[in-house]
Amino acid sequence: MSVTSPQILDVLAARYRDTLARHLGDCDDVVLLDFPNHANVGDSLIWLGEIAALRQLGKTVRHVCSIWDYDPAALAAVLSERTAILLHGGGNLGTIWPQHQALREAVLRDFPQHKVIQLSQSIHFKDEADAAAFGSLARGHRHFVLFARDHVSQAFACRVFDCAVELVPDSALVLRPRPSRDPQVDVVALLRTDVERKVDGDGPAALKRLSRSARVVDWLEVPGLERGLGRLDAFRARHPRHLDGSRHGTKQWLWEQLAQARARRGIDMLSSGRVVLTDRLHAVILSCLLGRPMVALDNTYGKIGSFVDTWLAQWPTLIRATDAAAAAAGVERLLSAQGAP
């Protein structure tokens, strides 16, 4: 019997929640570290999925921080023996984004007696020595659990880190957004402009092969609403007493508003196309959540392909492409299936 798209989403969301619940069974509450205070929509979708799952499990988030305001003393002040430290699952575990990796390593060193869970991550290290160094930290921590986001990352973690490892899908799959508009163009090409884009990326070449209306975007640009919220958050950080509520409560509320604004921007982008062409993992995931057919190119180290192979191999309207010709053919196939002229 074939599996439907909603059934796949329900299974993946349940797996995320159930795994998290199992590891938080003896915990009263949590702290959630490494808020993605930047424009990348995908990381905000992950954060919102983490918050949604924790609320569904009835777990209170007592403290949040970003890479810019991590304070071990402030964190220690809110921890009890039954508080779990959760590390946000955005980006990747490894050396591509070194400031976020530095925070993870600092937490493992600073809190060796507390349960620390690295939420769902892909793993990629540019250097074996860096991977071995993190492995030493992971092995030395008595209560560390790593949620690997795909089979490749799971195998790497088990081999190199030798710590407790769980295979867990992405937290964004807990969310259930709806399209915000009817399609305006045939193809939305949401293509990376950062360090994870392949040097010989085929997205633009694929578009040149199409006689279709297309919109080319990335989701790193910050619009006015997000700039305004960002200025308010900067004011809050400088003058916490000028805003009502506790500093932590105000910060968490503002950060959730920022994450939701970024998520709405991504939903608007992908909703505007009949078909999505992308090399961003969370554009693939969000397309699934919105019911948009998609053609997926990979990033520099195969993150998308590994995730799709692990969790979305049965997704009926997802086509993987390795070059421009295959991407163009995939887009045409998906549009033809919709009856587009």
Tokens read off for 47: 């954060």
User: In whole angstroms, what is the distance from residue 310 CA to residue 130 CA?
Assistant: 26
User: In whole angstroms, what is the distance from residue 23 CA to residue 115 CA?
Assistant: 9
Work out the pLDDT band at 223, boundaries 50, 70, 90: low
Give the mean model confidence (pLDDT) for residues 152-171: 95
| Residue 110 scores a pLDDT above 70 | yes
How do residues 6-28 score in pLDDT, each as one tens digit?
999 999 999 999 999 999 999 99
Taking Cα atoms as reference points, which of 227, 230, 223, 215 lies closest to residue 269?
Answer: 215
Higher pLDDT, 97 or 44: 44
Give the mean model confidence (pLDDT) for residues 100-125: 96
How do residues 236-247 score in pLDDT, each as one tens digit?
655 555 444 455
Give pLDDT, residue 244: 46
Domains (ranges, CATH) in the chain? Answer: 5-174 (3.40.50), 177-341 (3.40.50)
User: In whole angstroms, what is the distance from residue 177 CA to residue 175 CA?
Assistant: 6
pTM score, whole prediction:
0.92
Give pLDDT, residue 302: 85
